[in-house]
Amino acid sequence: MAKPHPLTLDSIRKGGKRALARALSDIEARDGSPDVAALLDDATRAAAAHVVGLTGPPGVGKSTLTNALIRHWRAADLSVGVIAVDPSSKFTRGALLGDRTRLDTDPGDQKIFVRSMAARDRLGGLSHEALAAIVLMRAVFDRVIVESVGIGQSEADIAYAADTIILCIQPGSGDSLQFMKAGVMELPDIVAVTKADMGAPARRAAADVEGALSLALRKAESWSVPVLLVSATEGEGLEALVKAVQHHYHHLCEGGRLARQRASQTRAWLIDRIRCKFGSFGLTVVDADAVLSRSNGPFSADSNITKTLSDRLTGA
């Protein structure tokens, strides 16, 4: 039987959901292969979408907010890709599909695609496969939403992939104090206090968050993190949230900030990838910046480093 023709960005765009689903399955099944690395490097260079990350503890309303954002952007005829990162099954290591089942989308709509992916053993919420999927979808859609597993105090992986990070906080949960302790307040570009229809508790939570932000190290001196009251079920505050997301993207596009941020994310991902595979040994013997500069992209660099270090460890 003849092998299927290698997927390209052009064939994925023309092939719609079926081609994208095949490509994502290929990425998971053949991680590190030359053609998969080449596809992902092409996607890295062709990044077009604004990637919005939603993070926060379970039950805060991330899926409800994701649904609201999907409806808003589809109403504007923008294509939307969604990565819903779920907890992993201890038996199969696959996604438990909780987030995906809570998203209300039209299966016949070719401009919306939802992929549920497992967090696997990543405490930070995003597996390597999820990050690769984000890179690919970023080259295909107008908007990409990444809904993280939301384990509360370890959400740093979202910073490897998202252009704009929205931290969701629920009134009356004490989240703001926990986030202050964990340093998570250094991650968001926007804070959304969900379930704003609760009234006074929501307003108190917003005041607590603003206090926590005033004590945290600022992510960027040129950007002041807005704290917004949002009720996705009632529609309250959604327009303000969408405007804040767009405002942040415009801010990133000024003066080359977006390109610098994505380059920094790529470097941080590659260094983390080496550490995960080879520990401190890998970081001491490999100059990640040098390999990245002479490779066709970060995924080819990852493959080259993996082969070099594996050969060295096995004496090949």
Q: What is the pLDDT of residues 210-252, one digit of tens each?
A: 888 887 777 777 899 999 999 977 888 999 999 999 999 999 9
Residue 230 lies in a domain: yes
Residue 228's pLDDT is 95
Q: Are residues 196 and 305 in the same domain?
A: no
Residue 3's pLDDT is 54
CA distance 108 to 121: 33
More confident residue, 72 or 157: 72
Place of tokens 């505050």: 237
Residue 30 lies in a domain: no
What whole-number percentage of the chain has pLDDT above 90?
49
| pLDDT at residue 209 tops 90 | no
By the 8 A CB rule, do 153 and 180 touch? no
Q: Are residues 144 and 236 in the same domain?
A: yes
By the 8 A CB rule, do 111 and 144 touch? no
Residue type, 123: L
Residue 125's pLDDT is 53
| Domain extent for 300 | 260-314
Among 216, 234, 256, give the residue marking a domain's end: 256
pLDDT tens-digit readout, 17-51: 999 999 999 998 888 889 999 999 999 999 999 99
Residue 20 lies in a domain: no
Among 239, 256, 273, give the residue marking a domain's end: 256
Residue 62 lies in a domain: yes
